Amino acid sequence: MPSRAAAHTKGRASVLAALTATVLTVTGSPALAAADGGHPMNRAFARAAAEFDVPRDLLAAVGYGETRLDDHSGRPSQAGGYGVMHLVSNPTNRSLEQAAALTGKPLAELRTDTAANILGGAAVLRSYADKLGLDARDRDDIDAWYPAVARYGGTQGPAAAFYADTVYTFLADGLKAVGPGGERISVTSRPVSPHKGALSATGVRTQSPDYPSALWVPANPNNYATGRSAKINKVIVHVTQGSYAGSISWFQNPASAVSAHYVVRSSDGKITQMVRDRDTAYHAKSANASALGIEHEGFIDDPSWFTESMYRSSAALTKYLCDRYGIPKDRAHIIGHSEAPGNDHTDPGPYWDWTRYMQLVGGNTGGGNSADGLSFTSYATQQSGSTGAQVKAVQQLLNEQGYSAGAVDGSFGPATRTAVTAYQAARGLGADGVVGARTWTALLSAGATPSLQQGTSGDGVKRLQRSLTAALGSTVGIDGSFGPATVTAVRGYQTSRGLTADGIVGPDTWAALQTGR
């Protein structure tokens, strides 16, 4: 999270994200979409939805997109947002105060009580629907709510569309989340065709002037300084302590006096540039003059935000910036906000996988040989034309599981593609013939399903560690010993997939891995 340099005084749209964006916790079509009478958060969503005539799944998807349904113990986001529904109180977004007026709830209760906060979020959404002229029939059509959802994100133009598209991705793909106390909150997948109106793709795309893969949404001029007083020599990794759209909105707010050069979205790695590289963003105090700041959507105490898509997209950006400005690709020059001199912030926090990130920045995709031919520090996408040790691993696993991939020669040719496609079709993985994270996970975890927990060891643990490395997109030491690091990885996987996060690998966890979840 950024902070403005003390030495500085106040200075002075895009193709909408595809609704097929990969979301870490999306799990297909879970059955539960209504409140569970014994679970408080589900009850709160159902009651709020009924009171304000807002679709329950839409309300849950908005909350998930804002906070992963975590109220962060009443602590505000960097934009001044509170609770599961991220009700905001800052000079340009007063949704918290609006919720208080609409519900009659005190501000303190809306900030700290989850049921009240969800009720407030529903009230605000309904007020936006009313202003759009949605009648009772319109409100029954979940696609009609798109402009109201976009407004809820607290920004305008491309950023508002990014926000609404993410919410509709959750509706399209479905999701399962785990709330406080292990309560499960689900959204059922469904076909969506949102009514985008003025937020349609036409005329809102603006490409980043410095990084071609990014979009350009400028920060308010009050939140950065034109030009630089030092040579660019480092990249600083931040975590937003808030949502992607909320952070973009905050950097556009002239009262914030903070900014970053780039913001990276969790669900699909989408990047928005907000300050030109040649200008000085206010993100790291004394390091501002010489640093480029990259914000990552999420919260430092919740690793589920740090997705494979985010790591890969951010690492590609960092590699590009290092090459462009001659920055050494090492941890002395690619640092966290907490490592910048004179800073009191703790981001990116203990769950940021520096080993994985630096491997990606340095071009190391785990393609080298491993002792057993199957264990790698990461599993890269393999497809027609790929070659090397990881193709050999794919071929070996397919052959062992009865899908003839031909010779184990490390060349991804027609026979290998045919075998991959057949394997994917049989397991409902999407038969595209490309070995991505889901197919890797299923291939690597196939076999017996023994109960595993801390203290166990052997080949079953190795198989588990390989499949977790593929599923999580971060290195899990593959040594066959179920130690504390493996426990942490298992719990992270279970939490992100809506499983009981007990660190024990039983039938449910194996089933999830073997279906590529």
Give the closest residue to 358 by CA, choosing from 330, 320, 328.
Answer: 330
CA contacts within 13 A on the Cβ side of 106? 4
Bridge partners of 234, per DSSP, are 291
User: How far apart, in whole angstroms, are the C-alpha atoms of residue 297 and residue 267?
Assistant: 9
Residue 5 has pLDDT above 70, yes or no: no
pLDDT of residue 20: 31
pLDDT digits (tens, 9 = 90+) for 369-404: 455 788 887 788 888 888 888 899 999 999 999 999
Top pLDDT among 366 and 199 is at: 199
User: How far apart, in whole angstroms, are the C-alpha atoms of residue 327 and residue 329?
Assistant: 6
User: How far apart, in whole angstroms, are the C-alpha atoms of residue 126 and residue 348?
Assistant: 35
Residue 238: pLDDT band with limits 50, 70, 90: very high
Whether the Cβ atoms of residue 152 and residue 128 lie closer than 8 Å to each other: yes
From 150-159, 212-221, 276-285, the region with the lowest mean pLDDT? 150-159
pLDDT of residue 370: 56
pLDDT of residue 38: 60
pLDDT digits (tens, 9 = 90+) for 16-71: 333 333 333 333 333 333 434 468 999 999 999 999 999 999 999 999 989 889 88
Structure tokens at 408: 């184990």
Print burial letters for 86-108: b (CB count within 10 Å at least 16), e (below 16): bbbbbebbbbbebbbebbebeee
For residues 170-177, give the mean pLDDT.
Answer: 91
pTM of the predicted protein model: 0.59
Residue 411 has pLDDT above 50, yes or no: yes
pLDDT of residue 109: 97
CA angle 163, 166, 168 (to 5 degrees): 110
Residue 428 has pLDDT above 80, yes or no: yes
pLDDT of residue 301: 86
Residue 410 has pLDDT above 70, yes or no: yes
From 5-9, 58-62, 68-72, 450-454, the region with the lowest mean pLDDT? 5-9
For residues 321-340, give the mean pLDDT.
Answer: 90
From 183-187, 352-356, 497-501, the region with the lowest mean pLDDT? 352-356
Amino acid at 508: D
Q: How far is CA 220 from the centre of its chain?
A: 25
The mean of the pLDDT values for the chain is: 86
pLDDT of residue 1: 61
pLDDT digits (tens, 9 = 90+) for 269-289: 989 999 999 999 999 998 999
Order of strands, sheet of 334-336, starting from the edge strand that comes earlier in the sequence:
215-216, 271-273, 262-264, 291-296, 234-239, 334-336
Bridge partners of 184, per DSSP, are 178
Q: Is 32 exposed, middle or buried (0-12, 13-18, 19+ CB in 10 A)?
A: middle
Q: Is 363 exposed, middle or buried (0-12, 13-18, 19+ CB in 10 A)?
A: exposed
User: How far apart, in whole angstroms, are the C-alpha atoms of residue 104 and residue 97?
Assistant: 10
Amino acid at 245: A
Q: Is the peptide bond before 254 cis (omega within 30 degrees of 0)?
A: no
pLDDT digits (tens, 9 = 90+) for 64-119: 989 889 888 888 988 889 999 999 998 888 999 999 999 999 999 999 999 999 99
> Could you give all domains of the chain from N- to C-terminal order, each with its CATH number?
40-199 (1.10.530), 215-362 (3.40.80.10), 386-515 (1.10.101.10)
pLDDT of residue 24: 33
User: How far apart, in whole angstroms, are the C-alpha atoms of residue 418 and residue 403?
Assistant: 9
Residue 179 has pLDDT above 90, yes or no: no
Residue 360: pLDDT band with limits 50, 70, 90: confident
Give the closest residue to 284 by CA, choosing from 223, 341, 246.
Answer: 341
pLDDT of residue 206: 74
Q: Is 502 exposed, middle or buried (0-12, 13-18, 19+ CB in 10 A)?
A: middle
For residue 139, what are the contacts with CB-CB under 8 A and spacing of at least 6? 53, 54, 55, 129, 145
Site of tokens 């202003």: 131
Residue 2: pLDDT band with limits 50, 70, 90: low
User: How far apart, in whole angstroms, are the C-alpha atoms of residue 362 and residue 356?
Assistant: 10
